Structure 1
């Protein structure tokens, strides 16, 4: 049976005998919306959740700020921004800036900014990358996180948070207030929030008891997000769902819709899991692609194998992460270090190191063999040949294929 595995801007075709494949249970596909993207965007804006329409809310505001995703995210901001701008123009808002939530990621080129937002938004709006050196303190959350927000956002009369909703391996879900925290917050803020990823309830698909997510929501409330617009994407990054309205009521409606489309589970564990981050931009670097490992870790047997197909054209993607990844062979030591002092970038290496205590990880990427070995992985260039060899050794292998790094719940 042929499977398509996204890899960078290309694909890898894989064939595995059907008898060896593990099947997944999908909660429900009944709510998948069969409308075109423009209809979905308009419907969401015409029917905001627990809120008036955007054009009414923004009426009388002298300026507005729209928070959008950076280049490492799949969110197609350019598709919905013209509709948001039309609402703001109807409201009479003249001065509109678009702020890219970089968190700790690299800055954009002007060309990248324009590509992310599209021609209409690039012509009408001021485009700004968030800057961690220009953040102001506005208070502390109940979890002890200092909320330091980019001044361009704080100085705006009206703030709109956008993004796409999907499972996130320790924040529960992306979307909603995550555009603000960590998107446009300081290094100190992000460190404090992300340090809670070590808590038991900080995991994919968990909202109400997830300390990371609840901290994010409180930060959003403190900063004053006036309106959100979130989309749900299919595997080709097409919009198949959208919500807008009050934060966080609209976000909660969005995650209910997302779960109804994408919640998957399985009742057995795999000898081998083959996964991908979902191709570009999610596999632009290992810092981003690592999330796919976390999403499938519960469905692989102890001593099993996870194969990650991730191009990683920009290498590790973050310097601290690259440094800490050289020490993944000693989980106890780096776990001790991260508990003593939380280090952004290091947190992901700790997650990898913990995983490597239980399973073997194989990487198909742009990293050379030496660099791959140094982080505790084994490099392969031909996934099909690797699987064929393993099936020769054991014709009864159970194999799970998760082409887009989806979170899979395990009931075994």
Structure 2
């Protein structure tokens, strides 16, 4: 069989191993444009016409190149609807929600947004405005959107803060902390500042039991993000979810409802029951996530820290990843790399990070959490020496990373597969 590597695939050969393939049903694909237009016609909550006036300055926050989203199609549909509502094109700014990732180049924006690239600006996390606070979960775990006296500042980029109407596109896909991404997360994190990222991605929140892959209801990370979205004043979201077969659904309207509905669609399509434990798991990632080590390690942590860890104690996670950008070039990625590079061992790094860390280093925290119990080997990369600097193993090929005779689970699309307990 083949597993992803960059924009292509590599052939997987594991002679002498007992191999099981975790392939979700995948669901039934939809036509993105048609589904987006239907979603705008039948929104979850008030229609877009009730959310925007012709003279409004409109900010539309979109994801960056680390997400697999046909933003050009979603944006095209959204802009066509705004035109029908008499909103002039020159009143619209498309804000690329970078979070702490690196800015996108003009060429990348052209590829991602097509003829609408001229409207785009990269979010600048240093140019933000405070729009309110949310309650600190650590101070009051049952009230993540509690009184301002508990407050964590919610800061948002100037183009979003100054807009009369705030819209967003995005993808509802499995997310290590939020359960599923999308909704308010695209704006509050993507177009926000370090303050909210530092809080939501800090050890006090990430160590909580209900902060986990695939869980939306009762997830304090998700609740904090949604509360922040209310402070920002996100008026309308147009999101999709996808699986191995392609885009599975599109919804529009109020962010919380959009996420709930699309998460249910994704969960049905992406869940794979696991009945036993394995010696090794091969975690497929592929482009765009395997561009750098920061993103590619999601394949391993999604498997080991999901609903059902399929590995035996001491088992090995194997991630084929090209890594043309090395550890990553953004602020968060560099912090992640430095933390792993400078650590002596996973246990001491985990203990150190539990006392706190700067935004971006949360990925080092969850990687350290996994490395306390499992080995992680990255194969087929362009930078094996860098990988080995980061408490990880490196190998030329998947077969070199798996012991002969191993019981192996192959997850071809680890970022879009939910491993769950067999009922």
TM more than 0.5: yes
Q: Are residue 356 (structure 1) and residue 362 (structure 2) matched?
A: no
Q: Per the alignment, do residues 16 and 46 of structure 1 end up closer, same or farther by CA in structure 2, a change over 3 Å counting?
A: farther
Q: Are residue 35 (structure 1) and residue 30 (structure 2) matched?
A: yes
Among 287, 305, 311, the alignment partner of 1:300 is 311
Q: Are residue 70 (structure 1) and residue 61 (structure 2) matched?
A: no
Q: Are residue 12 (structure 1) and residue 10 (structure 2) matched?
A: yes
The equivalent of 2:223 in structure 1 is 214
Among 36, 42, 49, the alignment partner of 1:47 is 42
Among 87, 90, 102, the alignment partner of 2:84 is 90
The equivalent of 2:381 in structure 1 is 366
The equivalent of 2:281 in structure 1 is 273
Q: Per the alignment, do residues 61 and 255 of structure 1 end up closer, same or farther by CA in structure 2, a change over 3 Å counting?
A: farther
Name which of structure 1's ranges 223-232 and 58-67 shifts more when overlaid on structure 2. 58-67
The equivalent of 2:131 in structure 1 is 138
- In the alignment, the residues of structure 2 paired with residue 257 and residue 383 of structure 1 have an alpha-carbon distance, to the nearest angstrom, of 32
Provide the alpha-carbon RMSD of the alignment.
2.2
Among 128, 131, 142, the alignment partner of 2:121 is 128
Residues 242-288 of structure 1 show CA distances to partners (whole Å, capped at 9, x for unaligned) of 111122222211111111211222111111100122x1111111111
Q: For residue 36 of structure 1, report the CA deviation from its aligned partner.
A: 2.4
Asked if the contact 1:172–1:206 (Cα under 8 Å) also holds between the matched residues in 2, the reply is yes
Q: For residue 135 of structure 1, report the CA deviation from its aligned partner.
A: 0.6
Asked if the contact 2:96–2:122 (Cα under 8 Å) also holds between the matched residues in 1, the reply is yes
- In the alignment, the residues of structure 1 paired with residue 360 and residue 164 of structure 2 have an alpha-carbon distance, to the nearest angstrom, of 33
Q: For residue 407 of structure 1, report the CA deviation from its aligned partner.
A: 4.3
- In the alignment, the residues of structure 1 paired with residue 320 and residue 223 of structure 2 have an alpha-carbon distance, to the nearest angstrom, of 32
Among 320, 330, 340, the alignment partner of 1:309 is 320
Q: Structure 2, unaligned stretches of length 5 or more?
A: 137-150
Q: Tell me the number of residue pairs that the alignment of Structure 1 and Structure 2 aligns.
A: 395
Q: Structure 1, unaligned stretches of length 5 or more?
A: none
Q: Are residue 343 (structure 1) and residue 351 (structure 2) matched?
A: no
Q: Per the alignment, do residues 25 and 319 of structure 1 end up closer, same or farther by CA in structure 2, a change over 3 Å counting?
A: closer
- In the alignment, the residues of structure 2 paired with residue 240 and residue 375 of structure 1 have an alpha-carbon distance, to the nearest angstrom, of 36
Among 253, 260, 276, the alignment partner of 1:252 is 260
Residues 283-302 of structure 1 show CA distances to partners (whole Å, capped at 9, x for unaligned) of 11111111111111111111
Q: For residue 329 of structure 1, report the CA deviation from its aligned partner.
A: 4.3
- In the alignment, the residues of structure 1 paired with residue 22 and residue 12 of structure 2 have an alpha-carbon distance, to the nearest angstrom, of 18
TM-score, normalised with respect to structure 2: 0.87
Among 364, 375, 391, the alignment partner of 2:390 is 375
- In the alignment, the residues of structure 1 paired with residue 28 and residue 397 of structure 2 have an alpha-carbon distance, to the nearest angstrom, of 37
Q: For residue 37 of structure 1, report the CA deviation from its aligned partner.
A: 2.5
